[in-house]
Amino acid sequence: MEQEQIIEAINKKYKEFGENPDTYLKGLLQAKPINYWDYVQVDTLLSLQKPRTNFADEEIFIMYHQVTELLLKLMIHEIKQVVYKKDITETFLIGKISRMNRYTKMLITSFDVMREGMDYEDYNTFRATLAPASGFQSAQFRLVEIYCTRISNLINEQGKKRLSAEPNMEEYFEHIYWKDAGLKRETGEKTLTLRQFEEKYEDRFVALAKKVRGKTIEEIVNSMDKPSTALLDILREFDRLYNIEWPLVHLNTAKHYLDSKGENKAATGGSEWKKYLHPQFQQRKFFPLLWKEEALSIWGTENVTTIQH
């Protein structure tokens, strides 16, 4: 574009805003050139690690979880473009789910940082200072679930038995699978970890679930007329990666630090982590209608991938 065309385009842009273009052009004379460290906010980013102990590997632990939250934010960035966009094409949806699969694979492989990247004894010492904080309290993880699938798909088999005939959204959340990590159903007793999480986020979760009802990725796909095999395959890949492979890697990493020597240590959040982390217990599926009954019956095992759809 020639210089005159650029100036003309700038004038047009600001006149459409009802603004004087000369004001903005004069401002450019005073603006400082952008640089990498200011644009990415490097100094701020590198100042966000605040260890509670003097163990060197605690900083690794913090940075790992911050990277995880950034990856989840990337996923939500893609998901929102699907959920809130009108007239979605298959090409657009395949592109977005492909990105989400890529981010999920990064989440899976990144667990090597946790499993192999910290001193075993140091971790098992400094982790005592983290209670009652827990990765369970990741709100973004729950947002991904709410945007991706109907809330009824986040109720495991035991939870479904407790539901009334026509549950409202609040009732669904009372029986959602992840509350089993911190709630003794027989007594109603809740861990501090769960109470803190509910107090901070539950109203927001319920409001979002009501807002996106009928517009989740699952419901968008279910309403499509003859979706292609390519789309269905990539959706099943996301379901498997996010809801089976990632939880299994998480579980095996927890076993490495909490039970590799038979100690059966408690989780910082107080959950029955061996039970809670296993995808067979969670039974979380984003796209259940895309799987054969045989696959659903063995959900949470690596054998799901061997079943023809």
Q: Is 253 or 270 the better-scoring residue by pLDDT?
A: 253
Q: In degrees, to the nearest 5, what angle opens at C-alpha 179 toward C-alphas 176 and 181?
A: 135
- Asked whether residue 172 is domain-assigned, the answer is yes
Q: Is 210 or 283 the better-scoring residue by pLDDT?
A: 210
Question: Which distant-in-sequence residues (6+ apart) come within 8 Å of 1 by Cβ?
Answer: 9
- Asked whether residue 36 is domain-assigned, the answer is no
pLDDT of residue 255: 81
Residues 246, 279: Cα–Cα separation, whole Å: 9
Q: pLDDT tens-digit profile of 224-263?
A: 999 999 999 999 999 999 999 999 998 888 787 776 665 6
pLDDT of residue 2: 86
Q: Which domain holds residue 291?
A: 58-306
pLDDT of residue 213: 97
- Asked whether residue 27 is domain-assigned, the answer is no
pTM confidence score: 0.90
CATH number, domain with residue 129: 1.20.58
Q: Is 275 or 209 the better-scoring residue by pLDDT?
A: 209
For residue 139, give Cα distances in angstroms to 32, 85, 144, 270.
37, 23, 9, 18
- Asked whether residue 18 is domain-assigned, the answer is no
Q: In this structure, which long-range contacts are made by residues 248-252, counting pairs with CB atoms below 8 Å and at least 24 apart in sequence?
A: 248/278, 248/279, 248/300, 248/302, 249/108, 249/111, 250/111, 250/277, 251/277, 251/278, 252/115
Shortest CA distance to 157 belongs to which of 280, 50, 8?
280
Lowest mean per-residue pLDDT among 118-127, 155-164, 223-232: 118-127
pLDDT surpasses 80 at 106? yes
**Mean pLDDT of all residues belonging to the chain:** 91
- Asked whether residue 86 is domain-assigned, the answer is yes
Q: At what angle do helices 139-148 and 203-211 cross, to 10 degrees?
A: 20
pLDDT surpasses 90 at 145? yes
pLDDT band at 276 (very low <50, low <70, confident <90, very high): confident
- Asked whether residue 35 is domain-assigned, the answer is no
**In the chain, how many domains are there?**
1
pLDDT of residue 92: 97
